[in-house]
Amino acid sequence: MNFDLSEEQKLIRQTVKDFAEREIKPVAKELDEKGEFSIDLTKKMGELGLFGMCLPEKYGGQDLDTLSYIIAVEELARVDSSQAATLAAHNSLGIGPIYYFGTEEQKQKYLPKLCNGENLWAFGLTEPDAGSDSRATKTTAKLSAGEWIINGSKIFITNGASELAAGATVQAVSEVKEKKKIFTTILVERGTKGFEQIPMHDKMMWRASDTAELYFDNCKVPEENILGSKGEGSKIMLSTLDNGRLSIAAMGLGLAQGAFEMAVQYSKERHQFGRPIHKFQAISFRLADMATKVELAGNLLYKACWLKDNNKPFGLEAAMSKLYCSEIAKEVADDAVQIHGGYGLMKDYPIERFYRDQRLLQIGEGTSEIQKLVISRKILQ
């Protein structure tokens, strides 16, 4: 089995790494403190070609493989999870459903502007009472006189409210048959009457990403805005999450790598008892454990990407990657704070931000408990 990256993948890693160090790192702390979403950084990511990386060139994409995209997310998360979240949510959850399930007309209409950084697109699944249980969706969509009339709300929607947020793919209950809900996905554009996008503030983590509540009050959308076919909503949304798991795993891997690098650097600079603290076995062994976890997480994630790129089943490995990378991000960030000691609890040190940012990874796009459910079902079927 060949573990070498291609020359193109190496170039992508170095390019995104340089961009993150040059453009994101100097402003990450300020954006986090202000809770401010950066239009400028988002547009620069679009100009760099990071949006639509896996899409064909005819839609404005880069026609790259999955691993190249995952490497890009990983390198952003190594510096700042907020910017990585913008990229990951837009590519996997925003662009993904339109590309895989949209008509040619829908692809031509939406994808070019979603690939160049001009627009962002959101994934409207989560509701106040529908998180892990996606089938608890209460938002409704009734077809009348050639229009979908949508009522309800969504919450915790990434890329949902900034001036770049052009709309969302929304799961709604379109019918109830024999007490069974029928779900349909619909594309709802910004500016549609009855559609309101409200930013959510005061988050503990990903403070510089755009998180929104979406409200639909007799929101009327043309019938042709349906994505896929009526009744396919749940299938479309859940299959999208399969792909999304890889990008969240990449965020966990990148965050863990960044936290590990901070810990190594600090252990060389900090002196106690007359020598650098990495000279003490308690610290060096902790660093060894951290390095091993990061290496294992990367191998598992890259295998899942290889399976996907080679058109092999990858759902099991995607769930495993999301679970493991999220959990080791928590463990490595915690260890890095411990190595920093009291300084790790101060905002002057970026590890404090990393410690907060990792916490969503075990919740977003399927909790760790849901990943275990997915894994157990696949290995026991």
Tokens of 195: 């559609």
- Euclidean distance between CA atoms 180 and 185, whole angstroms: 17
Dist. CA 323–CA 317, nearest whole Å: 10
> Does 47 qualify as catalytic in the annotation?
no
Instruction: Give 273-341 as a DSSP string.
Output: TTEEGGGSHHHHHHHHHHHHHHHHHHHHHHHHHHHHHTT---HHHHHHHHHHHHHHHHHHHHHHHHHHG
Q: Residue type for 80, please?
A: D
The catalytic position among 127, 317, 327, 365 is 365
Compute, in degrees rounded to 10, the torsion defined by CA atoms 206, 207, 209, 211. Answer: 100
**Residues near 192 by Cβ (< 8 Å), separated by ≥ 6?**
167, 219, 220, 221
Query: Can you say whether the dihedral through the CA atoms of 221, 94, 211, 134 is positive or negative?
Result: positive
Within 92-204, strands assigned E span 120-124, 140-144, 147-158, 165-177, 180-189, 195-199
Residue 129 CB-half CA count within 13 A: 5
Q: Which residue numbers are catalytic?
A: 365
